Structure 1
Amino acid sequence: MKLTNNAMLIGDNSEVILHFDLKLEDGSAADSTRVNNKPAKMVMGDGSLTKNFEDCLRGLTAGDKKSFKLNADDAFGMPNPDNIYHVDRTKFAADTPVEVGMIIAFAQPDGSELPGVIRSAEGHSVTVDFNHPLAGQNVSFDVEIIEVRDTGAS
């Protein structure tokens, strides 16, 4: 989709480069691309963003700034009890400290890593939560669109 001044509007299959600041409902900062001055790159419709988040970006173009709030369901989803596991402490390396609140990367069969948060460590049982750390949180985003490109996908 194009504007009369040839600027691309964000639409289906747009590649978007943007800065964002993510805040929790209490106003505390949760994430920001500005910290390391490394903008995020995303492709509309590739499944990495929720539909509601994409809808908030549609129609914006390079240079636009926008703030919006998302309920937990539209942001990172609600915590899923099936993503909480009880792991025997012997599964952790002897030199790995197991402390509540720690995030540990667990190797997957395909070679990728999945982060898990230690929720409790009692005796031989360690409770690991593989839900997104922001699951269940209402959040607000401040976005600044840097560049919009057409991926050419249909």
Structure 2
Amino acid sequence: MKIEQDKVAQIEYTLTNSAGEVMDKSNGQPLAYLHGHHNLIPGLEAELLGKAVGDKFTATIAAADAYGEKHDGMIQQVPSELFQGVEKIEVGMRFEAQSDQGTQSVEIVAIDGDQVTVDANHPLAGQDLTFEVEIMDIRDASAEELEHGHAHGAGGHHH
């Protein structure tokens, strides 16, 4: 069986950035995903298409096909008073913020007096990413998985 639309695949992976730093890895806990349902970044899903159990490969995914390019419009200054209840605001802290587009995750990237600069870009936006992948299992998706749009069970989503 090969990875194709509506198959659930389990993969072991190691993710590194362009400097070779490990950003994430499965650590013996394979990730299960439903192929063709946007459960993974587009570039990695494209690389997985047609692979079979036991296949191993390395793929470098350009930022545009990963978490996208960094957008300056997603970086803004806000007054520090918006962080009421936070004892000490520090660069690197992440918060959930309400915006016109709903809830967004933002990271504090600078503090200048009572002005705080927040970045709503994904932390890996603008970065080319390299994945070392091994295909561990492939199976047909259940009707429930297809209805929900994601894999269930080991390595997948639990309800």
The TM tier, using the shorter chain, reads 0.7 to 0.9
**1:124 matched to 2:117:** no
Q: 1:107 to 1:117 in 2, by over 3 A?
A: closer
**1:46 matched to 2:34:** no
Deviations 1:19-66 (A, max 9, x none): 1100111211111111xx332221111123343322210111222211
The number of equivalent residue pairs is 142
10-19 or 82-91: which moved more?
A: 82-91
**1:146 matched to 2:136:** yes
Normalised by the length of structure 2, the TM-score is: 0.78
2:77 alignment partner, one of 54, 73, 86: 86
Give the aligned partner of residue 134 of structure 1.
124
142-151 or 112-121: which moved more?
A: 112-121
Shift of 1:139: 1.3
Shift of 1:150: 1.7
Paired residue type of 1:139:
L
- Identity rate of aligned residues, in percent? 33
- Is contact 2:97–2:106 with CA below 8 Å preserved after alignment? no
Q: In structure 1, how many angstroms separate the alpha carbons of the residues matched to 2:97 and 2:78?
A: 14
Q: In structure 2, how many angstroms separate the alpha carbons of the residues matched to 1:93 and 1:21?
A: 38
Normalised by the length of structure 1, the TM-score is: 0.80
- Is contact 1:101–1:119 with CA below 8 Å preserved after alignment? yes
- Is contact 2:106–2:119 with CA below 8 Å preserved after alignment? yes
Q: Which runs of 5+ in 2 are unaligned?
A: 147-159
Shift of 1:85: 2.7
- 4+ aligned runs moved over 4 Å, structure 1: none
- Is contact 1:105–1:113 with CA below 8 Å preserved after alignment? no
Q: In structure 2, how many angstroms separate the alpha carbons of the residues matched to 1:114 and 1:64?
A: 36
